[in-house]
């Protein structure tokens, strides 16, 4: 009987039926504001911090989001030396650095260790925040997966109470997790970063509507219209100029706190134009 009640409570929490007090802090949430660029462990750019920072500075980008590892990586941090240099160079240029890690939720202690390693990539030069990429479906039980995702971000908040924490999530408009811990993440994280990628080729108007929906749905689900949302559009290389511009306008009009494209390696002139559109307000 007790186990049944516990499962009911978990389901209520992860589907948004309960409304715990927010743990987000506006100052921490602001770390995820402005424009951004994304680099993953497969990008050659991750080994060239000078080039990354020069591009970010030229394009007046606010934040560099860089992947440190994922659940399948053999090490806790891939390319540690270039990442340490990236933090130093970016800070010297006035640009924030937020490392991100993609957990598998199969080995919670490993996921915790790798997030701790991500927090430490700058050595004595502290990173500006941390983001957890909540998308992997290796754990087949929907309720267990949601529970472990919520627990991991809660652990991160407890372990690093002053850290700016971002939750990178699948598009809430096309959510493929049958149970997703929106309320739990709202309690532990400071911002949501939805991967608002089109599921198929969309018209510019459809792209605009979907992007607006990604922002508004998160705020509706958390019950807080001020929830910080950094909208991540993409994949940059597969979007038309019209689609990129529509995404930028949708994020702007919906009141997103930040806007970026996945990823830096595939961003072309039309992508930079989209970031400029969002920045122009």
Domain boundaries defined on the chain? 36-280
CA distances from 240 to 12, 197, 247, 269 (A): 40, 13, 11, 11
Name residue 101's beta-bridge partners: 69, 132
pLDDT digits (tens, 9 = 90+) for 133-152: 999 999 999 999 999 999 99
CB 120 within 8 A of CB 114: no
Q: Per-residue pLDDT averaged across 17-44, rounded?
A: 81
pLDDT at position 7 over 90:
no
- Weakest mean pLDDT among 20-24, 56-60, 241-245: 20-24
The per-residue pLDDT for 23 is 55
Question: What rounded mean pLDDT belongs to the chain?
Answer: 93
pLDDT at position 11 over 80:
no
Q: Per-residue pLDDT averaged across 226-232, rounded?
A: 98
Rounded to whole angstroms, how far apart are CA atoms 64 and 53? 8
If one counts every other C-beta atom within 10 angstroms of the C-beta of residue 263, the result is 22
Percent residues over pLDDT 90 in the chain: 89
pLDDT digits (tens, 9 = 90+) for 93-138: 999 999 999 999 999 999 999 999 999 999 999 999 999 999 999 9
CA distances from 38 to 26, 64, 236, 261, 267 (A): 23, 6, 11, 7, 10
Pick from 111, 129, 101, 170: nearest CA to 25: 129
- Report residue 1's pLDDT band, with 50, 70 and 90 as the boundaries: very low
Which fold does the domain 36-280 belong to in CATH? TIM Barrel (3.20.20)
pLDDT at position 165 over 80:
yes
CB 2 within 8 A of CB 8: no
Q: Per-residue pLDDT averaged across 169-181, rounded?
A: 98
pLDDT at position 6 over 90:
no
Rounded to whole angstroms, how far apart are CA atoms 25 and 11? 26
The per-residue pLDDT for 161 is 97
* Long-range Cβ contacts of 43-51 (<8 Å, 24+ apart): 43/263, 43/264, 43/265, 44/265, 45/264, 45/265, 46/78, 46/79, 46/82, 46/83, 47/79, 47/82, 48/82, 49/82, 49/83, 49/85, 49/86, 49/89, 49/90, 50/85, 50/89
Q: Per-residue pLDDT averaged across 34-60, rounded?
A: 98
Percent residues over pLDDT 70 in the chain: 91
Q: Per-residue pLDDT averaged across 219-239, rounded?
A: 97
Q: Per-residue pLDDT averaged across 31-49, rounded?
A: 98
- Report residue 201's pLDDT band, with 50, 70 and 90 as the boundaries: confident
Rounded to whole angstroms, how far apart are CA atoms 269 and 219? 31
Q: Per-residue pLDDT averaged across 235-257, rounded?
A: 97
Q: What is the pTM of this model?
A: 0.92
Distance of alpha carbon 258 from its chain centroid, rounded?
A: 11
Phi-psi region of 16 (alpha: psi -120 to 50; beta: other; left: phi over 0): left
- Weakest mean pLDDT among 12-26, 27-41, 227-241: 12-26
pLDDT digits (tens, 9 = 90+) for 249-277: 999 999 999 999 999 999 999 999 999 99
List phi, psi (to 5°) of 132. -110, 120
């Amino acid at each position: 009987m007790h186990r049944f009640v516990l499962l009911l409570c978990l389901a209520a929490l992860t589907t948004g039926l309960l409304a715990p007090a927010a743990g987000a802090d506006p100052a921490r949430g602001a770390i995820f504001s402005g424009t951004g660029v994304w680099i993953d462990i497969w990008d050659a750019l991750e080994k060239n911090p000078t080039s990354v920072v020069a591009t970010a500075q030229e394009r007046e980008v606010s934040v560099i989001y860089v992947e440190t590892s994922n659940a399948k990586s053999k090490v806790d941090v891939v390319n540690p030396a270039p990442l340490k240099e990236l933090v130093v160079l970016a800070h010297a240029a006035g640009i924030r650095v937020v490392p991100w890690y993609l957990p598998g939720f199969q080995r919670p202690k490993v996921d915790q260790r790798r997030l701790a390693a991500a927090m430490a990539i700058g050595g004595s030069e502290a990173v500006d925040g941390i983001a957890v990429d909540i998308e992997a479906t290796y754990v087949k039980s929907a309720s267990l997966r949601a529970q472990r995702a919520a627990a991991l971000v809660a652990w991160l908040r407890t372990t690093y109470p002053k850290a700016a924490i971002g939750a990178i999530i699948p598009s809430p408009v096309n959510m493929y997790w049958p149970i997703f811990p929106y309320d739990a993440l709202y309690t532990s994280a400071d911002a949501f970063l939805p991967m608002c990628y089109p599921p198929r080729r969309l018209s510019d108007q459809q792209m605009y509507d979907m992007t607006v929906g990604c922002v508004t749905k998160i705020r509706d689900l958390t019950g807080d219209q001020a929830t910080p949302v950094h909208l991540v559009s993409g994949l940059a290389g597969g979007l038309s100029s019209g689609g990129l511009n529509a995404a930028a306008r949708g994020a702007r009009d919906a009141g997103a706190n930040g806007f970026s494209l996945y990823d830096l390696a595939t961003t072309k002139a039309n992508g930079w134009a989209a970031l400029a559109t969002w920045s122009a307000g």
